[in-house]
Amino acid sequence: MIVQVKDLDQFNAYFHQKTLHPLMSVGDLSKADVSLFSPTDFNMYCVVLMDADFGELLKGGTCVRYKPGTVFTLRPGQVVSMNLDSAKRPKGWMLAFRPELLIKTGLGRDFYMFNYFNQDVFEALELSSSERNVLLNCFGNIFAELHAPDDNLTGHMLRLGIGHLLSYCKRYYERQFETEIKNNSSIITRLSVLLDDYLSSGMPEQKGQPTVAWCAEQFHLSPNYFGDVVKRELHMTAQEYVQQKIISAAKVMLRDPRLSVSEIAETLGFTYPNHFTRLFHKKVEMSPSEFRRTIGL
């Protein structure tokens, strides 16, 4: 059974604390009721710092045991749970804020930058010791502001504190991203081979054209994260690269006069030949038949 968190009162009840703001809260995981770790949709944006290895996290159908000092995020609609290690006490912090907090605010204006909310469980952020200290300070500042006397700057200071936390997460995700790119520089080479093998295997005719989601799955990455890797390395979108490989395969096939344009389209996974012709013309600026004439066929 999945628990649906309806409001901040219900969220704060997990931490045995009062609701101090109607749209956001911070909870200390060491004080949380164990029911917090049951399958739950918090219906909020959440940032969780797991500061101890106290069990396996289940999110998006993937189960992972994290190192201490790991951050993961949730967006409204995502379900998360944990298989707790009974021998270890939970430790860490959890920030939760309602989407309404973003309406007509500077935080909402800048929220597009924090695309890591769309990432999957295996793309969590592993912090260095200094980064962990910075984020702990951010959580602490937000917690302290929540408990400070309310005045006309309270809302601004809380949104500013959340913005600082999210911005530091963005910086550290970028650092992790760059490190992973350097450590996995062969991913583009492997992707090229993957697409060439698929397009020449006869599988497109049975299963359709390769999609970005399918490619990402082969590397155990989410489509968003995979797309970021490809764009950073090739300066084009993953979809553009897949289409480029399809057109390259089509050009090879068009050199065989025994194959009709319709047969080539079907072999490459196009349901309708005119869809293939349209894509080819868009990418090559001539039709498949015109291309054949330029090579003397």
End-of-domain residue from the set 183, 218, 233: 183
Sign of CA dihedral 164, 166, 172, 175: negative
End-of-domain residue from the set 153, 183, 213: 183
pLDDT digits (tens, 9 = 90+) for 250-271: 999 999 989 999 999 999 999 9
Q: Does residue 129 share a domain with residue 40?
A: yes
Q: Does residue 25 share a domain with residue 147?
A: yes
pTM: 0.66
Strand partners of residue 81: 58
Rounded Cα distance between 92 and 77, Å, is: 23
Rounded Cα distance between 123 and 102, Å, is: 25
pLDDT digits (tens, 9 = 90+) for 23-61: 999 999 999 999 999 999 999 999 999 999 999 988 877
Query: Cα 186 vs. chain centroid, distance in angstroms?
Result: 21
Question: What percent of the chain lies above the pLDDT cut of 90?
Answer: 70
Three-state secondary-structure class, residue 128: coil
Q: Does residue 90 share a domain with residue 138?
A: yes
Q: Does residue 237 share a domain with residue 198?
A: yes
**CATH number of the domain encompassing residue 210:** 1.10.10.60
End-of-domain residue from the set 164, 183, 202: 183
What is the rounded average pLDDT of the residues 172-200? 80
Q: Which domain holds residue 60?
A: 3-183
Q: Does residue 62 share a domain with residue 165?
A: yes
| Total number of domains in the chain | 2
Three-state secondary-structure class, residue 52: coil
In this prediction, residue 176 has a pLDDT band, given cuts at 50, 70 and 90, of confident
**What's the one-letter identity of residue 61?**
G
pLDDT digits (tens, 9 = 90+) for 109-158: 999 899 888 876 556 888 999 999 999 999 999 999 999 999 999 999 99
**CATH number of the domain encompassing residue 101:** 2.60.120.280
Average pLDDT, the chain: 90
CB 105 within 8 Å of CB 159: yes
